[in-house]
Amino acid sequence: MLEFVSTGLQLAVPLLLASLGEIYAERSGVMNLGVEGMMSAGALASFAITLKTGNPALGLLTAAIVGAALSLAHAFISVTLRGNQVVSGLALVMVGCGLSSLIGRGYVGTPLPMGSRRIPALLGQDLIFYVSVTLSGILWLVLFRTRAGIVIRSVGENPAVADSVGVNVHAIRYLCTAFGGLLAGAAGGYISTIHNGMWVDGITAGMGWIAIALVIFATWDPAKAVGGAVLFGIVESAGYSLQNFGISQWLLNSLPYALTIVVLVVASSRSVKRRIGAPAALGEPYFRE
Amino acid sequence: MKLAIPVLLVVVALLIVFLFASKPALINPTNKENVQTQNSSNQGQISKLEAAFVYIGPIGDYGWSHAHHLAAQEAAIRFGKWLGMTEVEKVNPSDCAGVIEQLISKGYKVIFTTSFDFMDPTLEEAKKHPDVLFFHCSGYKRYRNMGTYFLDLYQAYYLDGLMAGALSRTKRIGYVAAHTIPEVVRHINAFAIGVKETCPKCEVHVKEIGAWFDPNKAREAAESLIDQGCDVLAFTEDSPTVVQVAEEHYQKGERVLVFGHYSPMYRYGPDVCVSGQIAHWDVIYNDILSKVYSGFYNSTNLEYVDYWDKMNSGAVELGCKADQPINPRFIPELKKVRVNETVQLPNGTVLKDPNAYTLVMARLAQMGAIWTGHGWKYVNDETFDPFTGPIYDNTGELRVLPGQRLGHDALWSMQWWVENVIGPPLSGG
Amino acid sequence: MRLERSKRRNGVLTRLIFSFLAVLVASMIYMLQGVDPLDVFSALISAFTTKVGFSELLVRMIPLLLISSGLALCFRMKFWNIGAEGQYIVGAMAAFLAVESTRQPIVALLSAFAAGAVLAVPPALMKSRLGVNEVLSTLMIYYVVYWVFQYLIHGPWKAREKVGEVSYGGFAHTSIIPAELGTVPGTRISPVMLFLALSSAVLIYFVMERTKLGFEIKAFGGNPKAAEISGMSYFRTAALTMMISGGLAGLAGAGDLLAIQHRLIPEFPCGYGFTGIITAWLGGTSPLGLIAANMFFGGLLVGGEEMMIVYSLPFGAINVFNGLILMFVAAGEFLTRYRAR
């Protein structure tokens, strides 16, 4: 009966991974709208490597590296060259999706053998689900309870102050953006290799954009991202149970976004804003005056 | 800036490695030649026919656009001597007319537009360019120089339904639908009519995903149907996801069977894919192109050219992979199920209470496609159609009178569910 | 090394140099794929040199120019409206309703402007009163609008169509609108929309240089705190700017409905709202810059189709090419705005 919860949780994994990475990038002040492109490239890389080696772990690792490589291009443009982050991010989507579509043609119509998709599972959820939930816990601890977290947040809130106390703003931003790419690539790899076991052009189907929405929904908090990802995943899959009651699939699709707007408004009341608002220097390049 | 240049180099190098590590994309090198010879064809010699195919999706979708692409490539190989061919993928309907203009300016004389939403722009361009031949797939508007073509899969879905009804143990059968447009409603109803014939008590549960191509949504819909107790699944959407989901359940020790759709999907589920339908657009493309080349079709006589190919032309094949109408793994089980009815074959043989396997083969023969055991034979005669009355809809209304057979127009605007279907409400619009 | 904001904006040359670098990288990729880069670029250039190519370029430039003119205004005050696609959709929906009931294209255009403007106000309100990040609010509003649009097309607005004796129903599209805007014979260009698009670019210049609003936009774009202290209202400025921006995007949606598509279909929104972000940023608030940037991008779109037609280049390759050009242009921005001393 609660199968849709289980399906929802599976769907939550790539959303969670991608949004955790993006949370770190944005916390450091770099907005990377290229998540969809990095996921798409990661999805293909992981599929190709798993097909060749039969080892999904190796596939996911490659996906992460490819995602990170693409995000470095974005970091270079937005951090070192102080280019426009929105334009660079949108361009990254084109490059990532284009590359995977171009190279992926040879892989269309080839399924991944069942054996090479199997990874350890517990209570109906696979290992990666538990890994990503644990990861979000760790990332929450790092961000809010360690010195490293303070440094990252200060770079995103007020880079000039961080700089003045000797933090290398550019290095932190590079690291966080690359970390975001790493997780986005892995999320794409999960979709193609573990979740679907196949490559088709456009397999990420807009999940990268949902992950960006999720970052906001979670108010840049890794722990809340778990709840958000599960909610988004379950709303998506519960739609099919609601269809029996005549509820429109399309209106239901708008629900996560409408919820996000509500959260934005509620989260912005003055008293809580300081704690959960967007990083103040998000999207702003930093110049040493 | 000192840091910048090495980083840039690393990024570029990584991109190149990424490209090197992969197979090169398929590129059709013959095309450049076509463009250079285009001048000679403009001077009125029909030595070479320039044909163009316009797709809505990426060629790599392994669904609709992929199937058209394979058929176009097949035509290019078969008619290579006189056929110049190009393809344009991922065309948005708002750009369709513009792409057609560009194709015409490059000398293309026959243009195939392969999406329903290309219908109005194609008609508009047909009126603007009376000397170019247009063929639009899946629509209902024609003109002097614009014909239509479509291959209809409902007969194969009916046969799937016969098998699904015979094989279901939970009496619940699931169906993942992309959209509830008339074509898909027709598929589902034909499927449900087949189910009812072999399993009068079975229900067909329909989930609509609202997209032709969205593997994640298709997966959720399939899982949700299995969760509701369905043990046999069929679908109309553009990815092999549902087959894959069934195979995953089989690997976990659950019996979930499935019917493939559109492309040969056997590889995605060898243990669970009973049968299904495979589209062969090349049958239609070969016929159209050779008739254009021979001059049988010209820019003034396409108003009534409407291909509506079914099983008896070979454009629709029953099976989950080519030349295998039913997965041998399921034949013994199908042979054990008796169906209480009498069927008369075209050659006069009368079958009384046939088993489900024999019934499928008999219906195939009645619809003009005979499986000889190792190949197909076609006869241009249909002595049976699934949409023959009496058929009741799911509100209990008699929709097709006893003995009446639904015609083309009723099928093309079908917006009601057969009695054993439980599906989302249909708004005829 | 010290950086200084450059006084002169000699951006054209730098952008050209960086576009050239992009072309070099793209050429390498094409050669690896076994395609002659020269072929590819000649296909791209034919978008500017052939009659069909150029007229199609203008067809795509019209909605892009309308959208990016408005966005350029927003970006100038550092208000990052990235929901123009939603404003485009809402404009088309309003135009559809208006033209269905009045059969007057003019009424349809006016209601489209109004609808787009109204949809653009909440983000300004949310930003000024609650401090909600506008990138996020505009993006989320776009998604909601998109799915409501899909719901209407697949549900209440679905229309039957009669062809000859047969009435066809159940397809996801609205009826064909009863009135339309004319086009230049032999092309798909609507002179009305072309005029509106070109004047929107000029209008932006006029607003920036000759009005109080333009002064306030510059003030908030430069130093928001000082602007607020000197008595300007952030909400008023942001709301007015967003109304112009949303209205122009709505107008673009109406133009595409009235002059090109004639009915709403599921694929009606085709991403102009997002492409417009890029061209607005490339063009800035100068009319010539905006027109040039949008022509350039229209050329890329049409050139991409040419490459597919003539050289059977996959869509993916074109996507990579466009993405690389943008990346390099974004990278080159650094050298346009700042100089090393």
Contact A285, A78 (CB under 8 A): yes
Strands (E) in chain C, as ranges, are 3-5, 161-163, 166-168, 338-340
Mean pLDDT of B247-276: 92
Residue of C165 and C83 predicted with greater confidence = C83
Residue of B304 and C37 predicted with greater confidence = B304
Residue A1 has pLDDT above 50, yes or no: no
- The pLDDT tens digits of the residues spanning C63-85 come to 999 999 999 999 999 898 989 99
> Which CATH code for domain B154-278+320-422?
3.40.50.2300
Residue of B37 and A35 predicted with greater confidence = A35
The whole-angstrom separation of Cα C51 and Cα A201 is 33
Total length of chain A: 289
Contact B117, B93 (CB under 8 A): yes
Cβ distance C314 to B27 less than 8 Å, yes or no, reads: yes
Contact B133, B295 (CB under 8 A): no
Contact C76, C217 (CB under 8 A): yes
The whole-angstrom separation of Cα C187 and Cα C50 is 13
Domain ranges for chain B, please list them.
Answer: 47-151+281-313, 154-278+320-422
| Chain C touched by B229 (CB under 8 Å) | no
Residue A285 has pLDDT above 80, yes or no: no
Q: How far is A8 from chain B (nearest CA, A)?
A: 8
- The pLDDT tens digits of the residues spanning B350-377 come to 999 999 999 999 999 999 999 998 899 9
pLDDT computed for residue A94 by the predictor: 92
Q: Which residues on adjacent β-strands are paired with residue B203? A: B172
pLDDT tier, C10 (very low <50, low <70, confident <90, very high otherwise): low
Q: Which of B27, B91, B413 sits opposite C170 (nearest CB)?
A: B413
Q: How far is C305 from chain B (nearest CA, A)?
A: 7
Residue of B87 and C6 predicted with greater confidence = B87
The whole-angstrom separation of Cα B77 and Cα A209 is 41
Q: Which residues in chain C are contacts of A283 at CB distance < 8 A? A: 80, 135
Cβ distance C158 to B429 less than 8 Å, yes or no, reads: yes
Residue B29 has pLDDT above 50, yes or no: no
pLDDT tier, B216 (very low <50, low <70, confident <90, very high otherwise): confident
| Chain A touched by B248 (CB under 8 Å) | yes
Q: How far is B351 from chain A (nearest CA, A)?
A: 40
Cβ distance A254 to C143 less than 8 Å, yes or no, reads: yes
Q: Which residues in chain B are contacts of A8 at CB distance < 8 A? A: 220
**Range of lowest pLDDT (A124-138, B112-126, B170-184, C25-39):** C25-39
Mean pLDDT of B185-205: 96
Percent residues over pLDDT 70 in chain C = 92
pLDDT computed for residue B158 by the predictor: 97
| Chain C touched by B28 (CB under 8 Å) | yes
pLDDT tier, C341 (very low <50, low <70, confident <90, very high otherwise): very low
pLDDT tier, C337 (very low <50, low <70, confident <90, very high otherwise): low
Chains A, B: CB contacts under 8 A, how many?
141
Cβ distance B102 to C313 less than 8 Å, yes or no, reads: no
pLDDT tier, C307 (very low <50, low <70, confident <90, very high otherwise): confident
pLDDT computed for residue C63 by the predictor: 97
Mean pLDDT of B58-65: 84
**Range of lowest pLDDT (A166-175, A196-205, B250-259):** A196-205
Q: How far is A50 from chain C (nearest CA, A)?
A: 23
CA–chain centroid gap for A24, Å, is: 10
Domains detected in chain A: 3-276 (1.10.3470)
- Domain B47-151+281-313 maps to which CATH number in 3.30.70.1230, 3.40.50.620, 3.40.50.2300, 2.30.30.100? 3.40.50.2300
The whole-angstrom separation of Cα A94 and Cα A86 is 13
Mean of all residue pLDDT scores within chain A: 86
Q: Which of A16, A12, A50, A20 has its CA nearest to residue A181?
A: A20
Question: What residues have CB less than 8 Å from B153, skipping those under 6 apart?
Answer: B187, B261, B277, B279, B316
Chain A residue with Cα closest to B3 = A80
Structure tokens at B43: 């001077």
The whole-angstrom separation of Cα B255 and Cα B276 is 18
Q: How far is A238 from chain B (nearest CA, A)?
A: 8
Q: How far is C137 from chain A (nearest CA, A)?
A: 6
| Chain A touched by B327 (CB under 8 Å) | no
The whole-angstrom separation of Cα C124 and Cα C139 is 13
pLDDT computed for residue A200 by the predictor: 85
- The pLDDT tens digits of the residues spanning A152-171 come to 999 988 888 888 888 899 99
Residue B6 has pLDDT above 60, yes or no: no
pLDDT computed for residue B23 by the predictor: 42
pLDDT computed for residue B20 by the predictor: 45
- Residues 172-191 (B) with a CB less than 8 A from some CB of C: 179-182, 185
Is A6 in a helix, a strand, or coil?
helix
The neighbours of chain A, by the rule of 3 or more Cβ pairs under 8 Å, are B, C
Cβ distance B224 to A66 less than 8 Å, yes or no, reads: no
pLDDT computed for residue B4 by the predictor: 53
pLDDT computed for residue A216 by the predictor: 81
Chain B residue with Cα closest to A48 = B22
Structure tokens at B233: 């699944």
Contact C294, C272 (CB under 8 A): no
Q: Which of B221, B227, B244 sits opposite A196 (nearest CB)?
A: B244
Q: Is the ipTM of this structure higher than 0.85?
A: yes
**Rg of chain B taking only CA atoms, in angstroms:** 24
pLDDT computed for residue B409 by the predictor: 86
Interface test with A, best of B224, B254, B273, B278 (most A CBs within 10 A): B224
The whole-angstrom separation of Cα B151 and Cα B136 is 12
Residue B38 has pLDDT above 50, yes or no: no
Interface test with B, best of A10, A108, A177, A254 (most B CBs within 10 A): A108
pLDDT computed for residue A242 by the predictor: 73
Report H helices in A166-221. 169-189, 207-217
Contact A50, A112 (CB under 8 A): yes
Can you tell me which residue has the tokens 């083969």? Answer: B361
Residue of B429 and B395 predicted with greater confidence = B395
pLDDT tier, C3 (very low <50, low <70, confident <90, very high otherwise): very low
Residue C123, preceding bond cis, omega within 30 degrees?
no
Contact B113, B138 (CB under 8 A): no
Structure tokens at B169: 């143990």
CA distances from B402 to B233, B381, B391 (A): 29, 21, 8
Is B65 in a helix, a strand, or coil?
helix
Question: What residues have CB less than 8 Å from A21, skipping those under 6 apart?
Answer: A35, A179, A180, A181, A182, A183, A184, A187
Residue B160 has pLDDT above 70, yes or no: yes
Sign of CA dihedral B235, B236, B241, B243: positive
- The pLDDT tens digits of the residues spanning C121-161 come to 999 999 888 888 788 789 889 999 999 999 999 889 999 89
Residue B35 has pLDDT above 80, yes or no: no
Report H helices in B168-262. 182-198, 215-227, 241-251
- The pLDDT tens digits of the residues spanning B168-191 come to 999 999 999 998 889 999 999 999
pLDDT tier, A289 (very low <50, low <70, confident <90, very high otherwise): low
| Chain B touched by C316 (CB under 8 Å) | yes
| Chain A touched by B424 (CB under 8 Å) | yes
Interface test with C, best of B5, B16, B33, B102 (most C CBs within 10 A): B102
CA distances from B34 to B19, B30, B83, B291, C24 (A): 28, 7, 9, 21, 28
**Range of lowest pLDDT (A212-226, A249-263, B390-404, C222-236):** A249-263
**Range of lowest pLDDT (A260-269, B110-119, C165-174, C323-332):** A260-269
Residue B135 has pLDDT above 90, yes or no: yes
Could you give the maximum distance between any two Cα atoms of chain A, in Å? 61
pLDDT computed for residue B8 by the predictor: 56
pLDDT computed for residue C33 by the predictor: 67
> What is the DSSP annotation of B310-350?
-GGGTSEEESSBTTBSS-GGGHHHHHH-B---EEE-TTS-E
Residue A235 has pLDDT above 80, yes or no: no
Q: Which residues in chain B are contacts of C32 at CB distance < 8 A? A: 16, 19-20, 24
pLDDT tier, A110 (very low <50, low <70, confident <90, very high otherwise): confident
Q: Which of C251, C114, C232, C241 has its CA nearest to residue C193?
A: C251
Report DSSP state, residue B278.
E
Q: Which of A116, A126, A119 has its CA nearest to residue A50?
A: A116
Residue B165 has pLDDT above 70, yes or no: yes
Residue B290 has pLDDT above 60, yes or no: yes
Mean of all residue pLDDT scores within chain B: 88
- The pLDDT tens digits of the residues spanning A90-100 come to 899 999 999 89
**Range of lowest pLDDT (A116-120, B113-117, B309-313, C285-289):** A116-120
Q: How far is A4 from chain B (nearest CA, A)?
A: 6
Mean pLDDT of B231-250: 92
Q: Which of A69, A200, A237 sits opposite B220 (nearest CB)?
A: A237
pLDDT tier, C283 (very low <50, low <70, confident <90, very high otherwise): confident
Domains detected in chain C: 36-312 (1.10.3470)
pLDDT computed for residue B34 by the predictor: 44
- The count of C-alpha atoms lying within 13 angstroms of the C-alpha of C80, restricted to the half-sphere facing its C-beta, is 17
| Chain A touched by B59 (CB under 8 Å) | yes
Cβ distance C171 to B116 less than 8 Å, yes or no, reads: yes
Sign of CA dihedral C275, C121, C209, A88: negative
B47-151+281-313 and B154-278+320-422: same fold? Answer: yes
pLDDT computed for residue B347 by the predictor: 85
Q: How far is C181 from chain B (nearest CA, A)?
A: 15
By CB atoms closer than 10 A (0-12, 13-18, 19+), residue B336 is exposed
